[in-house]
Amino acid sequence: MRLLASLLASLAAITAVAAQTQTSNQTAPFYLKLTAENPDLNGNYLYAGHTGALQQTWLLFDSKPPANDTSVFFYWNYTIYNDVPSQTGLLTWLFPSRPSSPVPNLWLPLDLTLDIRSNVAHTYISSGPGYGIYVGWDGDNLYIPGAGTTDDSTNVPHVYPNVTSSFGLKLQQWYVCWVYFGSYYYQAVAWVTAGAPHNPTCEAVSIVREFV
């Protein structure tokens, strides 16, 4: 009882802190839909598919999920500064609380993870300190800002390179590829860091949000 009381007290404290330090606002839920030249991929919807404990990557549904399936809803967490919504924020997904699992509802952000033998990075939806890549919307097309980056294919010794300083560079290097990830092998959404994809199964796609 004493333990329960102190547990409830610390939960209340955590909730109070969370309320004080709300770091973002969140959009209404949306679906993520592919546009692609390949008709087998065009119009597919994305879902967060299992790659390990609390780890997901983007996999494909070939048709629109039923409206009551909230597990395919995604959200965008953004901030407001001087009444102006930020251009980039975290793409988030709610890891559902399951009766079979002790894990409560958890908001997990999209990130990318490197495959050290390739230029094809995995999409990765997981938890942990520092996880999450900032993304924005060009219209409704998902992009990653190239702010603060350089094009290292033009680097010259001792010559300080041109650095992208604004959000003008809206990179959309999204592909669907057959990938090996977390001991699974499946067709998933990936990001190609530069140049042609090292993986020959990759096909370029765009990711478009469609509000529920």
Ligand X SMILES: *[C@@H]1O[C@H](CO)[C@@H](O)[C@H](O)[C@H]1NC(C)=O
Q: Which of 45, 61, 107, 134 binds ligand X (CB under 6 A)?
A: 107
Say whether residue 8 binds ligand X (CB under 6 A). no
Binding mask 132-171 for ligand X (x = CB under 6 A): x---------------------x----x-xx---------
CB of 72 to ligand X, least distance (A): 9
Q: What whole-number distance in Å separates Cα of residue 112 and Cα of residue 191?
A: 8
State the virtual CA torsion across 140, 141, 144, 149 in degrees, nearest 10.
-110
Scan for tokens 């900032």, then name that residue.
134
Instruction: State the chain's maximal CA–CA distance in angstroms.
Output: 68
Cβ contact 188:57 at 8 Å: yes
Q: Does 109 participate in binding ligand X (rule CB under 6 A)?
A: yes
- DSSP-derived 3-state class of residue 66: coil
| Contact pick of 6, 15, 25, 166 for ligand X (by CB under 6 A) | 25
- Regarding 104 and contact with ligand X (CB under 6 A), the answer is no
CB atoms inside a 10 Å sphere around CB 124 = 23
Closest separation between CB of residue 22 and ligand X, Å? 6
**HSE (side-chain half, CA atoms, 13 Å) at 32:** 25
The yes or no reply on residue 26 touching ligand X (CB under 6 A) is yes
Binding site for ligand X (CB under 6 A): 22-26, 66, 68-69, 77, 79-80, 90, 92, 107, 109, 132, 154, 159, 161-162
